[in-house]
Amino acid sequence: MPVRIAPSILSADFARLADDIAMCEAGGADVIHVDVMDGRFVPNLTFGAKIIEAVRRVTSLPLDVHMMVVEPERWFDDFAAAGASGMTIHAEVAPHLDRQIARIKELGCRAGVAVNPATPLAFVEEIAHELDLLLVMTVNPGFGAQRFLEYCVGKIARARAMLDEARSGAWLEVDGGINRATVARCHRAGADTFVAGNAVFTAADPRAEIAALRDLATTVTV
Ligand code: DX5
Ligand code: ZN
User: For 120-168, what is each residue's pLDDT tens digit?
Assistant: 999 999 999 999 999 999 999 999 999 999 999 999 999 999 999 999 9
Domain of 154: which CATH number? 3.20.20.70
pLDDT (mean) for 165-182:
98
Q: Is 7 in the pocket of ligand 1 (CB under 6 A)?
A: no
Return the bridge partners of 194, or none.
5, 174
Catalytic residue among 35, 38, 64, 132: 35
Compute the distance from residue 164 Cα to the ligand 2 centre, in Å.
Answer: 24
- What does the alpha-carbon distance between residue 145 and residue 12 come to, in Å, rounded to a whole number? 12
Instruction: Tell me if 144 CB under 6 Å of ligand 1.
Output: yes
State whether the beta carbon of 195 lies less than 6 angstroms from ligand 1: yes
Q: Residue range 2-31: average pLDDT?
A: 98
pTM above 0.95, yes or no: yes
Edge-to-edge order in the sheet of strand 133-137: 4-7, 193-196, 171-175, 133-137, 110-115, 86-90, 63-68, 32-37
The neighbour count for residue 172, using CB atoms within 10 Å, is 24
CA separation for the pair 204, 201 (Å, rounded)? 8
Q: For residues 44-73, give the mean pLDDT.
A: 98
Q: Over 70: is that where the pLDDT of 222 sits? A: no
Known binding residue 28? Answer is no
Termini Cα distance of the chain? 17
Centre a 10 Å sphere on the Cβ of residue 46 and count the other Cβ atoms it contains: 18
- pLDDT score, position 205: 97
Give 129's contacts (C-beta < 8 A, 6+ positions apart).
166, 167, 168
Domain count, the chain: 1
Length of the chain: 222
145 lines ligand 1 (CB under 6 A): yes
Catalytic residue flag (residue 98): no
Give DSSP secondary structure letters for 97-147: HHHHHHHHHHTT-EEEEEE-TTS-THHHHTTGGG-SEEEEESS-TT-SSPP
Question: How many whole angstroms from 140 Cα to the centroid of ligand 2?
Answer: 10
For the cut 70, the answer to whether the pLDDT of residue 219 exceeds it is yes
Question: Which residue range is the domain that position 84 belongs to?
Answer: 4-219
**pLDDT on residue 218:** 87
Residue 164 designated active-site: no
**What is the Cα–Cα distance from 102 to 147, expressed in whole angstroms?**
34
Give the pLDDT confidence of 195-215 residue by residue, as tens digits. Answer: 999 999 999 999 999 999 999
